Amino acid sequence: MAEKSDLQSPYATRVPADPTNGKGPAFPFGRVVPRSDDPAWQPPVDPLASPAVARQQALVIPRPIPVSTIQTRFSVTDVQAALDNHVLGNFNLSADLIDAIMGDDRVQATLGSRVGGLFGRPMKYTKAKHADDDAAERCLGAWKEAWSTIAPEPSLSQMHRWDIMAGFSMSSLKWDTGGEYWIPTIIPWHLRYAWYLPQFFSYFATTQDGIALVSGGDGLWVLHTPHGGYRGWMQGAVRSVAQPWLIRNFAYRDWARYSERHGMPLILSKEPAAGDPVLKEQFAQQLQNLGSEVVLRLPQGVEPQYSFNVELLEASDNSWQAFPGLIDRCDMSIVLAILFQNLTTEVTEGSFAAARVHSDVRQSALAADNRSLSHTIYTQIARPFAAINFGDASLAPTTEWDIEPVEDRNAEGDLFNKFALSLESLTKSGIRVEDPEALAWELFGMRLKPGKMTPSPTKESNVFAYHLDYGIATKNEVRARLDLPPVDGGDKPAEKVQGADTTSPGEAITTPKP
């Protein structure tokens, strides 16, 4: 390897590398070797390696800065500035924009559908696979008992809304150390005081006590990044929702102004050009007070030209239809950005195929949310919980939501029922299915154990003429044909009853007793 060069930075030393291992000329590039005196560029370590250090870390309580200022009105320039800062990793303006957007009725309903679709499902807890099975069982029991305190649904809901809209969410853990176990509670943070520094590849937050490095998994912070830590915020729905949200608000405003103008027709006052000024003034005053339900007096003069009259000028075109059309289009854009499908707004009744596709898309989004949240909860909450309370982070259980659709379970039951009926029909037809138990396990994950069929002692089975006509010669062969067990002495030939040829196909005959 070549000698070290003088190319250095405050964080690393660049060393030229020879990718050919001395067999050819080296490229003029290099690899970055971490400097031992810079902890920011050291290999990653497990922050829970020492339970004692984790306990000390859990005693720290980050104090958020209260949100004391708001911005609810955004112009086109304001929205563009907020999105530009969001792209750069500064979330001050975009957090206020998200607050304003979430006040929209369409956004609230769509977010509620996605968030409630996950948190409305039952919970599933899985014990850790650990050599100390008893400790893993105790950790699971303590975790399940404390779950409602660890992750209250309002905190989870707020956390999930932030990661949908902003592309990530930031929370702190507040530990209760007064009981048998130390119990954390999720405290969601407003992203106004959060930013990302690309030179450190890290998130930071401004607290009442200064600037804090936010790194999840240390028992102090929960950093949920479903789209990855670096530039995951680029997938935040705010970048897709902001424009249709703004246009939707403008459309509502313009529609209201249009309705105000066209909902009340113009009043055309007709009065004599050379009439009495006093009468003309009285007439005008009466017109201005129409909202008070006044009575207009229309004096008629001696001359035909000397008269007063009123006409209404109403709008007769259909230009108003542009407003609901524009609003519906913006609604669809908002729903697509958050739910990834527009089942409730676009699919017509009876379109089963389209509804099935849209349901699959929504189910995929639900599964993705479940996987990402489950991973964050395990790595950044459950592992600190296990390390602090049981001295081993690997005892942490897995927490997730049961998102399997109910209709899929019904469909699987119907499919298995058809599978069982098909096996029965094939068996009765004399076709042998190779290893049906293995087939049931492969198709349905069910282990079948073959058993013996016992006939009902209170019900006699009948033998019909066609059993004998098809070459069944003994009583036990007849019973086997009917899936009945053999009997003693049933191997003798079964004779037809006299007159069997005239028996109707559905009429039962009996075989002679042995």
Tell me, yes or no, whether 319 lies in a domain: no
The reply to whether 60 and 162 lie within a common domain is yes
The reply to whether 383 and 296 lie within a common domain is no
Total Cβ atoms within 10 A of residue 20? 10
At 16, is the secondary structure helix, strand, or coil? strand
What's this model's pTM, rounded to 2 decimal places? 0.66
The reply to whether 430 and 468 lie within a common domain is no
Q: What is the mean pLDDT of the chain?
A: 78
Contact 82, 242 (CB under 8 A): yes
Q: What is the pLDDT of residues 199-240, one digit of tens each?
A: 888 999 999 999 999 988 899 999 999 999 999 999 999 999
Tell me, yes or no, whether 360 lies in a domain: no
pLDDT at 259: 82
Contact 233, 168 (CB under 8 A): yes
The type of residue at 295 is V
Q: Quick check: 276 pLDDT over 80?
A: no
The reply to whether 425 and 372 lie within a common domain is no
The reply to whether 232 and 374 lie within a common domain is yes
Tell me, yes or no, whether 13 lies in a domain: yes
The reply to whether 143 and 11 lie within a common domain is no
Tell me, yes or no, whether 343 lies in a domain: no
The reply to whether 32 and 171 lie within a common domain is no
- pLDDT level of residue 321 (50, 70, 90 thresholds): confident
Q: Is 194 exposed, middle or buried (0-12, 13-18, 19+ CB in 10 A)?
A: buried
The reply to whether 11 and 78 lie within a common domain is no
Contact 495, 512 (CB under 8 A): yes
Q: Which residues contact 245 (CB under 8 A, 6 or more apart)?
A: 101, 104, 107, 330, 334
Tell me, yes or no, whether 354 lies in a domain: no
Burial 68-89 (b: 16+ CB within 10 A, else e): eeeeeebeeebbeebbebbeeb
**Which residues constitute the domain of residue 430?**
408-444
Between 6 and 68, whose confidence is greater? 68
Q: Which residues contact 288 (CB under 8 A, 6 or more apart)?
A: none
The reply to whether 413 and 394 lie within a common domain is no
What separation in angstroms does the CA of 22 have from each of 13, 19, 30, 484?
A: 22, 8, 15, 82
Burial 260-272 (b: 16+ CB within 10 A, else e): eeeeeeeeeeebe
Query: How is residue 64 annotated by DSSP?
Result: B
Q: What is the pLDDT of residues 411-468, one digit of tens each?
A: 667 777 787 788 777 777 777 777 777 777 777 667 776 665 555 444 445 555 555 5
What separation in angstroms does the CA of 489 have from each of 159, 363, 441, 511?
A: 77, 62, 40, 13
Query: How is residue 473 annotated by DSSP?
Result: -
Tell me, yes or no, whether 326 lies in a domain: no
Q: What is the pLDDT of residues 179-203, one digit of tens each?
A: 999 999 999 999 999 999 988 889 9
**DSSP letter string over 129-147?**
--S-HHHHHHHHHHHHHHH
The reply to whether 220 and 237 lie within a common domain is yes
Crossing angle (nearest 10°) for helices 383-390 and 51-58: 110
Three-class SS of 292-348: HCCCCCCCECCCCCCECEEEEECCCCCHHHHHHHHHHHHHHHHHHHHHCCCHHHHCC
Q: What is the pLDDT of residues 110-133, one digit of tens each?
A: 999 999 989 999 999 999 998 899
**Winning range, highest mean pLDDT, from 181-195, 303-317, 490-504:** 181-195
